[in-house]
Amino acid sequence: MKFYLETPRLILRELQESDVEAIFELDSDPQVHKYLGNKPITTYKEAADNIAFVQKQYKERGIGRLACIEKFSGKFIGWSGLKYNQGKNEALNGFVNFIDIGYRLIPKYWGKRYASESALACLNFGFNKMNYDIIYGAAETQNIASNKVLQKIGLYFINEFTYKNMKVNWYELKKTENER
């Protein structure tokens, strides 16, 4: 399956090898990784490996994060999308084998509501096209912007948990709740 979504201001498409410079710009930025364990990448090889990892998810898991392209400029601004977290190595808050929603943008595109716009499109895709029953989200408690996005797109706060010595908020939205 090829993934392609559009919003009023964005195109969401599969990550491609040609996105390596943009992924490097995104994931080498310390601001971006402030709430992600403070481990930005340092090489283009790591960026290429990240793209290959997501492409493998498309093939093996039938879903993965999508490149966000600003329609106005045609520029890569980050990624957004769904991910199938499979097995105990990807367990989170006691959950295994679940779909989560995530987003990551280059800082100059923060504050423009692109995260909410792209995440909402991905959430609707997950419920309406992929027919998922429930989608989860997580954000470090100190990451106010990410928590606001999850709430804005309709996810409900469930609990707080500790992950790698960080306090994290856990959210969920059921398909039946989304349809209301």
Q: What's the CATH number where 149 sits?
A: 3.40.630.30
Determine the pLDDT at residue 18: 97
Type of residue found at 85: N
Give residue 155's domain range.
Answer: 4-88+95-178
Handedness of CA 106, 110, 114, 115 (dihedral sign): positive
Of the chain, the percentage scoring pLDDT greater than 90 comes to 89
Tens of pLDDT, residue by residue over 13-41, are 999 999 999 999 999 999 999 988 888 99
Alpha helices by DSSP H, listed for 28-174, are 44-61, 114-128, 144-152
The pLDDT mean for the chain works out to: 95
Tally of structural domains, the chain: 1
Report the pLDDT averaged over residues 102-129. Answer: 97
- The pLDDT value given to residue 57: 93
